[in-house]
Structure 1
Amino acid sequence: MYATVNGTRLYFDVEGAEYEVREGNLVKKPVCFVLHGGPGGNHIGFKPTFQALTDTMQLIYVDQRGCGFSDDAPEETLHIDYNVEDLEALREHLGLDRVWILGHSYGGMVAQGYARKYGQRLLGLLLVTTAPNHRFLEDAKKIVKENGTPEQIEICEKLWNGDFQTDEELDLFYAQMGSFYSVREQKEGKSKRPKVRRNYRALNQGFGGFMREMDFTESNRSITVPTLVIAGAHDWITPPKANEAVAESIPTATYVLFENSSHRVMSDEYERFMRVVKTFVQTATTEER
């Protein structure tokens, strides 16, 4: 499905019923926007993983502007501020009231940006392996330098500099760094994730530009909705230290560390991830009612 917002056409997909039957009554489930990482990724990698959450929430997967199945967008608009405004415009377009946001990696940064400007529109936040500010970049560089192969260290320079030239070059980066992103892939030796359409220009704009100055630390202190922060103990790109900083900056945050996970917590420890997220949302929803 598509919606035209702020001069661009965004792709979104809805999964899960709007209502559930509880004690013989129809009860409306909360709606949750699901935001992908990158910048430059898309929602495909979340399927079918997140389907298990649909008994708790109705999910709306969103491909950010210029990404995935959304229309291409001018390079100067591939920026977190536009992502925030697009999300709010989509919420209004769909006629939704208050919503949850599940943001993974860069998607969690967009969620924090949304909370800063549109916090009154939130029911809660699910922030998965993300960061509150630019300082995660230096920690990630150190981890790669200490643990990466010469080839991995070399290709990461393109990431730090925002210097990818093609989508194929970005695909090569993820292929070479796959074992860093997932403990499961380290053990199995190869990725079972679906092919993800990526936009190297969006990633370059982030790592080579606005992410170098990004900081939500102070604005996070104004967040009042239930917030779950999930970290992977072996995450290299948004290490536990970064996620701890997210939790420390949000007064209502609950922090959970997944000891056997890297960046892709939802696949590394699938069953525990689903259990933790569903319990958190169900508890918060019961208290809200």
Structure 2
Amino acid sequence: MFVDINDNRLHVEVLGPDDAPVLIVHHGAPGLGTLAEPKGSFGPLSDTYKVVVFDARGSGQSEGKGPLTHEQWAADVEGLRVWVGAERFIMAGGSYGGFIAMEYAIRHPDRLLGMVLRDTSADNANEAMARANALSSARVELDLDKFHRIMEGRTRDNADLRECWAEILPLYDHVYDPTVVQQKVEATTYRYETHNWAFTQNMPSYDIKDRLGAVTCPTLVTVGRGDWITPVACSDTISTLIPRSRLEVFEESGHSPQIEESKKFQRVVREFLSEALSHTRR
């Protein structure tokens, strides 16, 4: 369905019973990601939760009215909360979606029952780590011009974004499978203006470390041991700064433990949410 949130049409899907606790999930990779990944990762939890997944402003099938800022994306989450009728809810976000989940938690701490973060960072320090990891990888020989264009938000059009995305995708998984990489390239929806905005306008000043102490809800921080772009050190920083948080490292995953170790991911998230919600009922 399409829903007007903050004067922008969003592509939204709602899974699960109406009377269940609400879980809103924000996908990563602005201009590349869609609701498909969080639907696959958190959709199974719709047996217990009312799961809301959506294409963020400027991604997938949603409209892309500016500004495409963290503030606006967090405001869209708040708009979805109002639309779905949840006084309080659980927030989840992976990769860049984790940036927005944390931004929301800082702005609206009283609205969250819990938060699940996956392979994300509290500042832009991950970019230097990612560059070092990519350049030292023996998996592929990178076209450095394409690598720098996508990392710096200088892609020329959707076709160029596709080429640059195909260049770095082999770095993401714990086990490299060229067939899987090509399938991901084909399945991606490309919105180069959104991607470029995120990495030229938002990322240079992104640093929320000094505000994470304001997050009051129980928080699960998850990360793959082999994550090249938001390494374990980034998640360790988050779990240190958020007061009621814990870190879970997935040893056989790259950037996507929700896919690469899906059974363990489902179990860990379910156990965490059950415990977090049990405290709210006391």
TM-score by length of 2: 0.92
Where do residues 108-187 of structure 1 align in structure 2 (5 Å cutoff)? 108-147=98-137, 149-184=140-175, 186-187=176-177
Q: Which residues of structure 1 form unaligned runs of 5+?
A: 19-27
Contact 1:130 1:242 in 2 (8 A): yes
Where do residues 168-207 of structure 1 align in structure 2 (5 Å cutoff)? 168-184=159-175, 186-187=176-177, 189-191=179-181, 193=184, 195-207=187-199
Q: Which residues of structure 2 form unaligned runs of 5+?
A: none
Alpha-carbon shift at residue 215 of structure 1 (Å): 1.1
Q: Deviations over 1:205-239 (max 9, x none)?
A: 12222112111111111111110000111111111
Distance 1:49 1:114 in 2: 21
Q: Deviations over 1:172-211 (max 9, x none)?
A: 2232322211124x15752455813132111111222211
Distance 1:155 1:123 in 2: 41
Which residue does 1:68 correspond to in 2? Answer: 60
**Which of 25, 28, 31 matches 2:22?**
31
1:240 equivalent to 2:264? Answer no
Greater shift, 131-140 or 195-204, is seen at: 195-204
Distance 1:38 1:58 in 2: 24
Distance 1:196 1:16 in 2: 26
Distance 1:167 1:204 in 2: 11
Which residue does 2:8 correspond to in 1? Answer: 8
Distance 1:152 1:226 in 2: 42
Distance 1:264 1:152 in 2: 24
Q: Deviations over 1:260-285 (max 9, x none)?
A: 10111111111101110011001111
1:274 equivalent to 2:272? Answer no
Distance 1:196 1:57 in 2: 27
Which residue does 2:245 correspond to in 1? Answer: 253
Residue 233 of structure 2 aligns to a residue in which SS?
helix
The 1:7–1:234 alpha-carbon spacing in structure 2 relative to 1, beyond 3 Å, is same
The amino acid across from 1:15 in the alignment is: L
Distance 2:221 2:16 in 1: 24
Which residue does 2:76 correspond to in 1? Answer: 86
Alpha-carbon shift at residue 122 of structure 1 (Å): 0.8
Displacement over 4 Å in runs of 4+: none
Residue 127 of structure 1 aligns to a residue in which SS?
strand
The amino acid across from 1:165 in the alignment is: R
1:211 equivalent to 2:172? Answer no
1:101 equivalent to 2:91? Answer yes
Distance 1:17 1:188 in 2: 39
The 1:65–1:176 alpha-carbon spacing in structure 2 relative to 1, beyond 3 Å, is same
Contact 1:56 1:282 in 2 (8 A): no
Residue 190 of structure 1 aligns to a residue in which SS?
helix
The amino acid across from 2:42 in the alignment is: F
The amino acid across from 1:164 in the alignment is: T
Residue 10 of structure 1 aligns to a residue in which SS?
strand
Alpha-carbon shift at residue 64 of structure 1 (Å): 1.1
Report the aligned-residue RMSD.
1.7
- The total of aligned residue pairs comes to 277
Distance 1:109 1:152 in 2: 28
